[in-house]
Chains A and B, each alone.
Chain A
Amino acid sequence: MSHVNLVAFGIVAAAFAIITLVGFASARWRPAEDPMRLNEWGLGGRGFGTFISWFLLGGDIYTAYTFIAVPALVYATGAAGFYALSYTIMVFPIVFIFGPRLWSVARARGYVSPGEFVRGRHGSQGLGLAVAATGILATMPYIALQLVGIESVLTVIGIGSTSGNVVLRDLPLIIAFTVMAGYTYLAGLRAPALIAFVKDILIYLTVIVAIIYVPSRLGGWGHIFSAASAHLNSVNPATGKPYGSIVVMPAGEWAYGTLALGSALALFVYPHATTGVFAARRRDVIRRNAALLPAYSLVLGLIALFGYMARAVPAVNAGVKADGNNPQLSVPLLFAHMFPSWFAGIGYSAIVIGALVPAAVMSIAAANLFTRTIYRELLRPYATPAQETRVARVASLFMKVGALGFALVLNKTFSINLQLLGGIWILQTFPAIVISLYTRWFHRYALIVGWASAMVYGTIQAYRTPGGGQAHFGASSTSLFGQVTYIAIAALILNLAVSVVLTPLFRKMGVQDGYDETKPSDYIVDPTTAPTRAKTAGAKTATTVPAGASAAAPADTTVATGASTVTAGATAAAPVDHAVAMNGAQPAATRTHASAGPGPGNRRH
Chain B
Amino acid sequence: MAQPASASKRPATRGAVMVLLTVAIIGTLFVPIYARSTPKLGPLPFFYWYQLIWVPGVGLLCWICYLLLKTRPVSRHGGGGRR
Listed in ascending order, the chain A residues whose CB lies under 8 Å from chain B are 79, 82, 85-86, 89-90, 92-94, 96-97, 100, 104, 108, 220-222, 224-225, 246-250, 253-254, 256-257, 260-261, 283-284, 287-288, 290-295, 297-298, 301, 305, 521, 524-528, 542-543, 572-578, 604-605
Contact of A526 among B3, B32, B48, B62 (CB under 8 A): B3
The answer to whether A96 and B21 touch across the interface, beta carbons within 8 angstroms, is yes
Contact of A576 among B1, B25, B51, B70 (CB under 8 A): B1
Main secondary structure of the interface of A (DSSP, over half): helix
Residues of A within 8 A of B28 (CB): 85-86, 89-90, 260
Name 16 A/B residue pairs within 8 A (Cβ), A-sorted: A82-B48, A89-B51, A90-B29, A100-B6, A224-B43, A246-B47, A247-B46, A260-B29, A283-B5, A284-B70, A291-B59, A291-B63, A524-B4, A528-B79, A576-B76, A604-B80
The answer to whether B62 and A261 touch across the interface, beta carbons within 8 angstroms, is no
Residues of B within 8 A of A253 (CB): 31-32, 35
- For residue A299, which residue of chain B has the nearest CB? B55
Assuming A257-B30, A284-B70, A287-B66, is B76 touching A222 (CB within 8 A)? Answer: no
Contact of A521 among B2, B22, B75, B80 (CB under 8 A): B2
Assuming A82-B51, A248-B47, A292-B59, is B73 touching A526 (CB within 8 A)? Answer: no
Q: Chain B, interface size: which category?
A: 35 or more
- Closest Cβ–Cβ distance, residue B42 to chain A (whole Å): 7
The answer to whether B71 and A526 touch across the interface, beta carbons within 8 angstroms, is yes
Residues of B within 8 A of A293 (CB): 59
- For residue A301, which residue of chain B has the nearest CB? B52
Contact of A225 among B1, B45, B71 (CB under 8 A): B45
The answer to whether B45 and A257 touch across the interface, beta carbons within 8 angstroms, is no
Residues of B within 8 A of A97 (CB): 21
- For residue A290, which residue of chain B has the nearest CB? B62
- For residue B18, which residue of chain A has the nearest CB? A97
The answer to whether B6 and A605 touch across the interface, beta carbons within 8 angstroms, is no
| CA distance in complex: A436, B1 (Å) | 24
B44 contacts A by Cβ under 8 Å: yes
The answer to whether B78 and A287 touch across the interface, beta carbons within 8 angstroms, is no
The answer to whether A287 and B62 touch across the interface, beta carbons within 8 angstroms, is yes
Residues of B within 8 A of A256 (CB): 31, 35
Residues of A within 8 A of B71 (CB): 284, 526
| CA distance in complex: A577, B44 (Å) | 49
The answer to whether B5 and A93 touch across the interface, beta carbons within 8 angstroms, is no
Main secondary structure of the interface of B (DSSP, over half): helix
- For residue A261, which residue of chain B has the nearest CB? B29
Report, nearest first, the 5 A-B pairs whose CB atoms are least far apart: A605-B80, A291-B63, A291-B62, A294-B59, A221-B43
The answer to whether B62 and A527 touch across the interface, beta carbons within 8 angstroms, is no
Among B15-71, those with CB < 8 Å from A are 21-22, 24-25, 27-32, 35-37, 42-48, 51-52, 54-56, 58-63, 65-66, 69-71
Assuming A97-B21, A526-B2, is B58 touching A294 (CB within 8 A)? Answer: yes
B7 contacts A by Cβ under 8 Å: yes
Assuming A100-B5, A576-B1, is B45 touching A86 (CB within 8 A)? Answer: no
Residues of A within 8 A of B1 (CB): 527-528, 542, 572-576, 604-605
Residues of B within 8 A of A89 (CB): 24, 27-28, 51, 54-55, 58
The answer to whether B55 and A298 touch across the interface, beta carbons within 8 angstroms, is yes
| CA distance in complex: A257, B28 (Å) | 8
Contact of B55 among A283, A287, A301, A527 (CB under 8 A): A301
B10 contacts A by Cβ under 8 Å: no
| CA distance in complex: A574, B47 (Å) | 52
| CA distance in complex: A292, B60 (Å) | 9
B11 contacts A by Cβ under 8 Å: no
Contact of A575 among B7, B44, B58, B78 (CB under 8 A): B78
- Closest Cβ–Cβ distance, residue B28 to chain A (whole Å): 4
| Interface core residue of B55, B65, B77 (most chain A CB under 10 Å) | B55
| CA distance in complex: A528, B74 (Å) | 13
- For residue B52, which residue of chain A has the nearest CB? A301
Residues of B within 8 A of A525 (CB): 2-3
| Interface core residue of A108, A293, A297 (most chain B CB under 10 Å) | A297
Assuming A93-B62, A287-B65, is B55 touching A297 (CB within 8 A)? Answer: yes
- For residue A97, which residue of chain B has the nearest CB? B21
The answer to whether A575 and B76 touch across the interface, beta carbons within 8 angstroms, is yes
The answer to whether A284 and B66 touch across the interface, beta carbons within 8 angstroms, is yes
| CA distance in complex: A81, B18 (Å) | 29
The answer to whether B2 and A527 touch across the interface, beta carbons within 8 angstroms, is yes
| CA distance in complex: A254, B75 (Å) | 48
Supply 15 further A-B pairs (C-beta < 8 A) apart from A89-B58, A104-B5: A90-B29, A224-B43, A249-B35, A294-B59, A297-B58, A298-B52, A301-B48, A305-B48, A525-B2, A542-B2, A576-B3, A576-B75, A604-B1, A605-B1, A605-B80
Residues of B within 8 A of A96 (CB): 21, 62, 65-66
| CA distance in complex: A362, B36 (Å) | 38
Residues of A within 8 A of B70 (CB): 284
Residues of A within 8 A of B6 (CB): 100, 524
Residues of B within 8 A of A295 (CB): 59
- Closest Cβ–Cβ distance, residue A286 to chain B (whole Å): 9
- Closest Cβ–Cβ distance, residue B1 to chain A (whole Å): 5
- Closest Cβ–Cβ distance, residue B65 to chain A (whole Å): 6
Residues of B within 8 A of A573 (CB): 1, 80
- Closest Cβ–Cβ distance, residue A37 to chain B (whole Å): 22
Residues of B within 8 A of A82 (CB): 47-48, 51
The answer to whether A524 and B7 touch across the interface, beta carbons within 8 angstroms, is yes
Assuming A298-B55, A604-B80, is B3 touching A93 (CB within 8 A)? Answer: no
